[in-house]
């Protein structure tokens, strides 16, 4: 699909936990791989198996759920 | 069997006459041999049409969802477990129900019986454990035990787990050495083999949703496959869509599926839909020590939290 | 259980991962992000469950 071989990991991050951590990581200028594509969800309870499949259907190579 | 039918009819007639229930949900003979259809008897007269044989493959709990009247319902082992599910999930009130439990000796697989004769089967009669099936050319006798549906041959809860009246004597519960042989066989494959296995399995699926409609667990007013905003899954015969449908439907049944086999019995394409749900049954048992629909005071594992829930998949 | 069923259907295990990171754990976030990205990269591009791949 894409010309580059780079893999994409769709990451569902909880607003209060991992999204906060990601934010802090950014503020602290830490490096993390660019294949991580972040989607902020209000809470990991919002997570649904439909999201995981949707991500794959649209061409994600991996899914990471973090609360 | 004959004595079962008599007792079912007598109980149903009494219930309707005394006004204890407004309707009795049971089975009636279908219009073709080896088939029964769900039937709602509302008068004592109609109750005389109720029947029972080795072809009561559908799950009557499916017809309980959100009903308001008082209901008498006929339940074999798996139906009764689905009734428990319905009560736990607030889809019906225990007080509304009068459950006529029927200890089940297993239902036969009509598609398998058909393979025994060259021509179309035009009649099927039952005495005790023997079935006599006949086409226009031939007639043979077979034993019910030898031609059970796959789920019935793996069933360990033949007696109803909840009932108000029990028809006949409780039957002996089979003990299986290796109940999940089929699941283990798939687990032993590598990722691509598994993928191809399910590809082949779903090859014939025409997306008629008969499996979903026959399943008592699938009672959502709008199924995710029918949602259009967002549209989770396409409507066509696309392989990915078919897989998405089956994967998500199965997952919605996790910890709830009783392996009643109604989905498979309803499938016009003879697809082994339970290949998905059986994995979930196995996992529920291994991870949570859970069997669906056994106790009306317990919530299913996936909607409760316990500190000792397995969580080693979390980093 | 969902991940188990996906695996049962032939998705590679590492394609779906879960973790638990508090908002103060920026270092853990960066480490885990790296791990996840690496393990997915090791599996290569995904071909299963992709709409339009068949
Ligand atoms: S998924 Fe199939 S076997 Fe399971 S409860 Fe529904 S109809 Fe019965
Ligand atoms: S009943 Fe059979 S053909 Fe119809 S959607 Fe289900 S698996 Fe597919």
Residue A5 has what pLDDT? 60
Complex ipTM over 0.90: no
Asked whether residue B38 falls in the same domain as residue B139, the answer is: no
Is B138 domain-assigned?
Answer: yes
Q: Is the CB of B223 under 6 A from ligand 1?
A: no
Of B95, B119, B147, the position where a domain reaches its end is B147
Is B54 domain-assigned?
Answer: yes
**B307 or C17, higher pLDDT:** C17
Residue C54 has what pLDDT? 47
Is C12 domain-assigned?
Answer: no
Is C49 domain-assigned?
Answer: no
Is B103 domain-assigned?
Answer: yes
Nearest to B108 by CA among B166, B149, B76: B149
Contact between chains at A53 and B224 (C-beta distance less than 8 A): no
Distances C31 to A43, A47, B1, C20, C21 between C-alpha atoms, Å: 22, 23, 66, 12, 11
Q: Residue A48, preceding bond cis, omega within 30 degrees?
A: no
Asked whether residue B130 falls in the same domain as residue B178, the answer is: no
- Range with the largest mean pLDDT of A17-31, B55-69, C22-36: B55-69
Q: Which residues of A touch B240 (CB under 8 A)?
A: 57
B248 touches A at CB < 8 Å: yes
Lookup: tokens for A42: 């209000």
Lookup: tokens for B231: 């549209």
C48 touches A at CB < 8 Å: yes
Chain C (20-39) residues lying within 8 Å, Cβ to Cβ, of chain B: 20, 32, 35
Is C4 domain-assigned?
Answer: no
Is C27 domain-assigned?
Answer: yes
Asked whether residue B127 falls in the same domain as residue B259, the answer is: no
What is the band of C2 on the pLDDT scale with cuts at 50, 70, 90?
Answer: low
Asked whether residue B192 falls in the same domain as residue B258, the answer is: yes
Nearest to B8 by CA among B80, B86, B87, B75: B75
Contact between chains at B279 and C3 (C-beta distance less than 8 A): no
Of B123, B147, B171, the position where a domain reaches its end is B147
Ligand 1 atom having least distance to the Cα of B82: 5
Q: Determine the distance separating the centroid of ligand 1 and the alpha carbon of B256, expressed in angstroms.
A: 8
What string of DSSP letters covers chain C? -HHHHHHHTT--GGGEEEE---TT-HHHHHHHHHHHHHHHHHH-S--TT-TT--
Asked whether residue B130 falls in the same domain as residue B181, the answer is: no
Q: Which residues of C touch B195 (CB under 8 A)?
A: 9-11, 48
Residue C52 has what pLDDT? 64
Asked whether residue B121 falls in the same domain as residue B192, the answer is: no
Is B16 domain-assigned?
Answer: yes
Contact between chains at A49 and B251 (C-beta distance less than 8 A): yes
Total domains in the fold of chain B: 2
Q: Report the C-alpha gap between B117 and B146 in whole angstroms.
A: 16
Chain B (212-231) residues lying within 8 Å, Cβ to Cβ, of chain A: 224, 230
Q: Is the CB of B253 under 6 A from ligand 1?
A: yes
Is C48 domain-assigned?
Answer: no
Q: Report the C-alpha gap between B282 and B152 in whole angstroms.
A: 16
Each of the 315 residues of chain B gets a pLDDT tens digit; together they read 678 999 999 999 999 999 999 999 999 999 999 999 999 999 999 999 999 999 999 999 999 999 999 999 999 999 999 999 999 999 999 999 999 999 999 999 999 999 999 999 999 999 888 999 999 999 999 999 999 999 999 999 999 999 999 998 889 898 888 889 999 999 888 888 998 999 999 999 999 999 999 999 999 999 999 988 888 888 888 888 999 999 999 999 988 999 999 999 999 999 999 999 999 999 888 888 889 999 888 888 877 777 777 777 777
Asked whether residue B78 falls in the same domain as residue B131, the answer is: no
Q: Is the CB of B9 under 6 A from ligand 1?
A: no
Lookup: tokens for A60: 């994600």
Q: Report the C-alpha gap between B193 and B184 in whole angstroms.
A: 14
The chain-wide mean pLDDT, for chain A, equals: 85
Q: For the residues A28-54, what does the mean pLDDT come to? A: 88
Asked whether residue B122 falls in the same domain as residue B264, the answer is: no
Alpha helices in B38-126 (DSSP H): 44-47, 77-88, 110-116
Is C52 domain-assigned?
Answer: no
Is C32 domain-assigned?
Answer: yes
Q: Is the CB of B262 under 6 A from ligand 1?
A: yes
Are B192 and C10 spatial neighbours (Cβ–Cβ below 8 Å)? yes
Neighbouring chains of A at 3+ CB pairs within 8 Å? B, C
Asked whether residue B224 falls in the same domain as residue B297, the answer is: yes
Is B203 domain-assigned?
Answer: yes
Residue B257 has what pLDDT? 94
Asked whether residue B122 falls in the same domain as residue B203, the answer is: no
Is B224 domain-assigned?
Answer: yes
Domain with B132, as residue range(s), is 108-147
What string of DSSP letters covers A10-56? EEEEETTTHHHHHHHHHHTT----TTEEEEEES-GGG--HHHHHHHH
Are B108 and B60 spatial neighbours (Cβ–Cβ below 8 Å)? no
Q: For the residues A8-19, what does the mean pLDDT come to? A: 90
Asked whether residue B24 falls in the same domain as residue B94, the answer is: yes
What is the band of A3 on the pLDDT scale with cuts at 50, 70, 90?
Answer: very low
A25 touches B at CB < 8 Å: no
Domain with C32, as residue range(s), is 19-43
- Map residue B210 onto helix, strand or coil: helix
Nearest to B216 by CA among B276, B273, B256, B268: B256
Total domains in the fold of chain C: 1
Asked whether residue B270 falls in the same domain as residue B131, the answer is: no
Closest-approaching ligand to the CA atom of B243: 2
Contacts of B280 (CB under 8 A, 6+ apart): B250, B251, B253, B254, B255, B257, C1, C5
């Amino acid at each position: 699909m894409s010309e580059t071989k780079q893999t994409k990991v769709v990451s569902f991050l909880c607003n209060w936990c991992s999204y906060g951590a990601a934010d802090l990581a950014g503020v602290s200028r830490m490096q993390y791989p660019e294949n991580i594509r972040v989607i902020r969800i209000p809470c990991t309870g919002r997570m649904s198996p439909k999201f995981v499949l949707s991500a794959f259907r649209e061409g994600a190579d991996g899914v990471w759920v973090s609360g | 069997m004959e004595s079962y039918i008599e007792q079912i009819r007598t109980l149903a007639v009494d219930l309707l006459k005394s006004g204890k229930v407004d309707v009795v949900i049971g089975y009636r003979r279908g219009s073709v041999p080896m088939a029964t259809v769900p039937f709602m008897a509302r008068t004592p007269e109609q109750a005389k049409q109720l029947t029972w044989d080795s072809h009561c493959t559908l799950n009557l709990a499916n017809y309980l969802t959100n009903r308001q009247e008082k209901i008498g319902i006929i339940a074999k082992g798996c139906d009764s477990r689905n009734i428990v599910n319905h009560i736990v999930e607030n889809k019906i009130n225990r007080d509304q129900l009068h459950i006529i439990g029927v200890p089940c000796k297993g239902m036969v697989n009509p598609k398998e019986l058909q393979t025994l004769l060259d021509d179309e089967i035009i009649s099927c009669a039952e005495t005790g454990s023997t079935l006599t099936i006949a086409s226009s050319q031939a007639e043979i006798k077979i034993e019910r035990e030898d031609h059970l549906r796959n789920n019935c041959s793996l069933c360990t809860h033949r007696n109803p787990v909840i009932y108000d009246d029990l028809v006949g004597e409780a039957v002996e519960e089979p003990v299986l050495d290796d109940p999940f042989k089929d699941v283990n066989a798939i687990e032993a494959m590598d990722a691509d083999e598994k993928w191809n296995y399910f590809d082949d399995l779903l090859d014939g699926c025409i997306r008629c949703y008969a499996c979903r409609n026959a399943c008592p667990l699938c009672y959502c007013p709008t199924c995710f496959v029918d949602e259009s905003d967002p549209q989770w899954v396409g409507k066509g015969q696309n392989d990915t869509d078919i897989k998405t449908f089956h994967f998500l439907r199965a997952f919605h049944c996790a910890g709830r599926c009783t392996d009643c086999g109604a989905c498979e019995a309803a499938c016009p394409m003879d697809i082994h839909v339970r290949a998905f749900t059986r994995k979930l049954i196995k996992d529920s048992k291994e991870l949570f020590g859970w069997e669906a629909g056994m106790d009306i005071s317990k919530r299913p594992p996936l909607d409760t939290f316990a500190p000792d829930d397995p969580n080693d998949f979390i980093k | 259980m969902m991940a188990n069923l996906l695996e049962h259907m032939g998705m590679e295990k590492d394609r779906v991962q879960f973790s638990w990171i508090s908002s103060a754990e920026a270092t853990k976030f960066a480490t885990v992000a790296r791990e996840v990205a690496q393990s997915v990269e090791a599996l290569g591009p995904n071909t299963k469950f992709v709409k339009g791949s068949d």
